């Protein structure tokens, strides 16, 4: 089971909303809308994606990493390295 199983419906709902926002941005470009309005919507999508990312990260730490740390050894080392790399990608 994935660490986000308890939040799956919430994540799906958020991702569908984000998908709608991205499609709306495409329509704004098609309609030659004002640049700042488009940039504002892009910022909103980025913020929404960051929020979902943080939820997934929290779930991963609470479930997957916690289990790996309890097992110890190479399993723990691998999971900790994996989450460190994921955090690095998120903060770029």
pTM, two decimals, is 0.87
**H-type alpha helices, 31-72:** 35-60, 66-71
Count of beta carbons in the 10 Å neighbourhood of residue 68: 19
Give the residue-averaged pLDDT of 57-76: 95
**Once rounded to an integer, what is the mean pLDDT over residues 10-39?**
98
How far is residue 78's CA from residue 11's CA, in Å, rounded to a whole number? 26
């Amino acid at each position: 089971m994935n660490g986000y199983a308890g939040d799956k419906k919430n994540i799906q709902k958020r991702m569908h909303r984000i998908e709608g926002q991205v499609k709306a941005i495409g329509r704004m470009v098609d309609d030659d809308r004002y640049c700042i309005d488009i940039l504002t919507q892009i910022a909103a999508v980025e913020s929404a994606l960051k929020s979902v990312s943080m939820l997934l990260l929290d779930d991963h730490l609470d479930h997957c990493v916690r289990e790996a740390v309890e097992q110890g050894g190479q399993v723990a080392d691998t999971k900790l390295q994996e989450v460190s790399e994921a955090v690095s990608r998120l903060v770029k």
